[in-house]
Amino acid sequence: MKKLLFALMISLVLVACKNDDPEPEPEIAAIVHKWKLTAYENTVDGKKIWVPVNGEPNYISFRFDGLILDSNGLPPCCSPKAYYLNGVLFEVKPKAEVPTNNFCISVDCIGCDTWDIQQIDNELIISLCEPFADRRSKYIME
């Protein structure tokens, strides 16, 4: 009898357990990862080239609801309200608490509400809006 009761209790406990990680929005599921900045695009002698990033690595990550977070798990100052992922518009609508980035109090954003993000396999190329549209950043999936 004790074995039957024990088996029943274990079954109930296992059924009651659930995954606390929310499922990512389907449109962005492929980018819900941590990404490492590897290069910036610059113009040298009239040609665009990728310049590798030196020094401490810089990371961004995409949360399940599309919110972009920096290396410290905080939303970067002037983060977009929407972005085009491979040409498809995705509006960022936080579905969980957004951590406060106290540094952003002293930052004046120019108004770059929409970014362009191209994903090819484990690589992202992020283009900001004007006046920074000619500056792109390349990330690889961690």
Q: Where are the domains of the chain?
A: 22-97+107-141
Q: Cα 128 to the chain's mean position, in Å? A: 14
| CA quadruple 105, 108, 109, 110: dihedral, nearest 10 | 170
- Summarize pLDDT for 40-60 with one digit per residue, the tens: 999 889 999 999 999 999 999
- Summarize pLDDT for 88-125 with one digit per residue, the tens: 999 999 999 999 999 898 888 876 789 999 999 999 99
- Summarize pLDDT for 30-39 with one digit per residue, the tens: 999 999 999 9
Domain 22-97+107-141 has CATH 2.40.128: yes
Q: What percent of the chain clears pLDDT 70, i.e. is strictly above it?
A: 81
Q: Does the pLDDT at position 133 exceed 80?
A: no
CA dist 109 and 93 (Å) reads 19
Q: Residue 81 — left, alpha, or beta (φ > 0 → left; ψ -120 to 50 → alpha)?
A: alpha
- CB-side neighbour CA atoms (13 Å) of 115: 20
Residue with tokens 């970014």: 115
CB atoms within 10 A of CB 39: 16
